[in-house]
Structure 1
Amino acid sequence: MKKDIGTWLKDVLGIALGGLIFAFGLNYFIIANHLAEGGLTGVALTLHYLFGWPVGTTYLLMNVPLFVIGWRVLGTEFALKTVLGTAVASIGVDLTRAFQSPMPGDLLLASLYGGSAIGLGLGVIFLFGGSTGGGDIIARLVNHRWGWPMGRVLFLVDVVVITSVGFIFGRSVAMYTLVAVFVASRIIDFVQEGAYSARAAMIISEKSTEIAQRVLEELERGATVFSARGVYTDAEKNVLYCVVSRSELVRLKTLVYELDPRAFMIVNEVHEVLGEGFRNWHSS
């Protein structure tokens, strides 16, 4: 029971921290420089610029009907964490208005810094299982109802909002907003997947046993051998599969070439590896 409470408390604190980072980035860089955002955040910002409505309160109120639908369709746990993330972010935006600091003449830097801060905040929220509502709820509901990919739905929502921003405030604001949204998406991926990036290699060779032994001894990595049949030769062959860190890839290619210059090797980028020798499951 203590473990459950501890995990819950860690998630709450993580979501709260992410919400505050998001709020600070939105105020300090985006709102201060009259830029916009995608999703419902962009709608709230547009209403703020046009009518002076408080961004946080407006965003929170727009999410209320989505909370109700999301709770009924997607479950209680998701709804609770979404309410927490949205509430912290919304209240934080209104409370940190004093931190607005315009960057005269340099909207590119404002969009880059703003996108980075917002992406960091959202990434932390997502990392702890939370959500800030808005387009995220819409995407989940559409995915649940019609099976559309969430990424595509989020993209469509952003396109509609940013296009509207372009018509209302001009193409320049829309373009810098696109920069901020793009940077934020990359930072979100970075936070969720981590800076660590591994490589997965599939090696087809007549000397797969020798290669596996060298990988085990020199790289101290495990490997898995699959039996396969070549279509062209109709011959039985072994396929060696192993995962190494990015820095170990050159050593892997070198030892494969030394043992079998005719080996066929495929290398793929792996964004996350959990287990012995890589990232601990408890830190994911």
Structure 2
Amino acid sequence: MKKHIMHFILINVGLLMVGIGICFFKIPNNFATGGVSGLAIIASSFFKDIDVGPMMLIINVALLIVGFIFLGQDFGSKTMYSSFALSGIVWAIQKIFPLKHSLTDDMMLELIFSIIFPAIGSAIVFNLNASTGGTDIVAKILSKHTNLNIGKTLLLTDFLIAAGAGAVFGIKIGMYSVLGLSLKAFVIDLVLEGFNVSKQFVIISSKSDEIKEYIVTQLHRGATIYKAEGAFSHNTENVISTVLSRKQAIKLRTYIRSIDNSAFITISNTSETIGKGFRSI
């Protein structure tokens, strides 16, 4: 129960960050960098009486109906919740902090913040096996009826939305939107990698028993031990392999150096570790 509550809180924190990016930076500058928010920004320019938040809700409902028709019940509950919650958050922010103009006169600075907030928020949501919904449905439909994979169809869908911003708001906004779309994918991947990065140790030491004991009893992690022969010395040594968090990695490195200055250690980053004690499948 505690885990579900924490996930629910984190998803809403992520959605709030996405909402801040949309309301304070995307909408005032008409940056339609893909997604339902991009569609809503374009659509709201034709329907002046409907704000972006309510327009996102209308589009999300329409896309979910289309999704049920073409895909069946191929939606996760977290994704459905995120789709509607984000629309509500954007709606609420627009009511509380109505902005008629951009915060600054620097469009590049505004574009950067319009990418950073939604990218970090989306990464938090994606890391919990949810998504902000919307154009994911269109991408799935295109993927189902073409030979393209979901990643390519999602990029195509978002690119068409960004290009649509150029047709509606002018070539300058269109170019900013396409640039923002390109940078958004990079920042999301970077943040996700930061969330899930772990440290993989490969250790060769004469004190292998003590190191193994420290890993198991003090760090509460597992390790794999195997025999290996040196290419030059032909001596057989125990090799310890283990995967740790950043904090644990610092502790283990310090411990090894305190008991064996001649130990050979390689430490590498792993972008994602799945299994007991780490991320679930």
Partner of 2:225: 225
Root-mean-square deviation over aligned CA pairs = 4.7
Letter in 2 for 1:267: S
| Pair 1:40–1:77, CA change in 2 (3 A) | closer
Alignment gaps of 5+ in structure 2: 231-235
Measure the CA separation in 2 of the matches of 1:218 and 1:127: 27
* The one of 85, 90, 93 aligned to 1:88: 85
Native 8 Å contact 1:200 1:270 kept in 2: no
Q: Distance between the aligned counterparts of 1:165 and 1:212, measured in 2? A: 63
Task: Give the number of equivalent residue pairs.
Answer: 269
Cα–Cα, structure 1 residues 68 and 46, in superposed 2: closer, same or farther, change >3 Å?
closer
Q: Aligned equivalents of 1:171 and 1:40: distance in 2?
A: 21
| TM-score normalized by the length of structure 1 | 0.67
Equivalent residue letter for 2:268: V
TM-aligned CA deviation for residue 167 of structure 1? 4.6
Determine the C-alpha separation between the residues in 2 that align with 1:141 and 1:89: 22
AA of the residue aligned to 2:173: V
Distance 1:32 1:8, change over 3 A: same
From the superposition, tell whether residues 223 and 146 of structure 1 become closer, same or farther in structure 2 (CA, over 3 Å): farther
Q: 2:93, 2:155 → 1: CA distance? A: 28
Runs (5+) with no aligned partner, structure 1 = 231-235
Alpha-carbon spacing, 1:9–1:186, altered in 2? closer, same or farther (3 Å) = same
In the alignment, what sits opposite 2:233? none
SS at match of 2:225: strand
1:25 aligns with 2:21: yes
Q: Using the alignment, how far apart are the partners of 2:239 and 2:140 within structure 1? A: 39
By how many angstroms is 1:26 displaced?
0.8
Find 1:37's aligned residue among 8, 22, 33. 33
Q: Deviations over 1:129-182 (max 9, x none)?
A: 543322222344556777855433322322232233345434542443355443
Offset of residue 224 of structure 1: 0.5
Q: Which residue does 2:162 correspond to in 1?
A: 162
**In the aligned structure 1, how far is the partner of 2:74 from the partner of 2:154?**
22
Matched, 1:197 2:197: yes
> C-alpha separation between the residues in 2 aligned to 1:90 and 1:35?
17
**1:251–1:156 distance in 2 versus 1, CA, 3 Å:** farther
Quickly say closer, same or farther: Cα 1:143–1:270, change in 2 above 3 A: same
Given that 1:15 and 1:84 are in contact with CA atoms closer than 8 Å, whether structure 2 keeps it comes out as no
Cα 1:241–1:81 change in 2 (3 A) is same
Q: Is the 8 A contact 2:36 2:134 kept in 1?
A: yes
Do the aligned partners of residues 243 and 126 (structure 1) sit closer, same or farther apart at CA in structure 2, a change above 3 Å counting?
closer
Q: Secondary structure at the match of 2:45?
A: helix
Question: Taking structure 1 as reference, are residues 13 and 34 closer, same or farther at Cα in structure 2, changes over 3 Å only?
Answer: same
1:53-109: CA deviations, max 9, x gaps? 53233333333343235457464761x433322222223323322422513321122
The residue correspondences of 1:1-284 to structure 2 (distance < 5 A) are 3=1, 14-52=10-48, 53-68=50-65, 70-71=67-68, 73=71, 75=73, 78=76, 80-98=77-95, 99=97, 100=99, 102-141=102-141, 149-178=149-178, 180-181=180-181, 182-183=183-184, 186-187=187-188, 190=191, 195=195, 197-202=197-202, 210-211=207-208, 213-214=210-211, 216-217=213-214, 222-226=222-226, 240-246=240-246, 248=250, 259=262, 265=266, 267-271=268-272
The offset of 1:242, in angstroms, is 1.6
Structure 2 vs 1, CA of residues 75 and 9 (structure 1 numbering), >3 Å: closer, same or farther? farther
**Is the CA contact 1:22–1:118 (under 8 Å) kept in the aligned structure 2?**
yes
Q: TM-score, normalised by structure 2?
A: 0.67
Q: Answer yes or no: is the 8 Å Cα contact 1:39–1:154 preserved in 2.
A: no
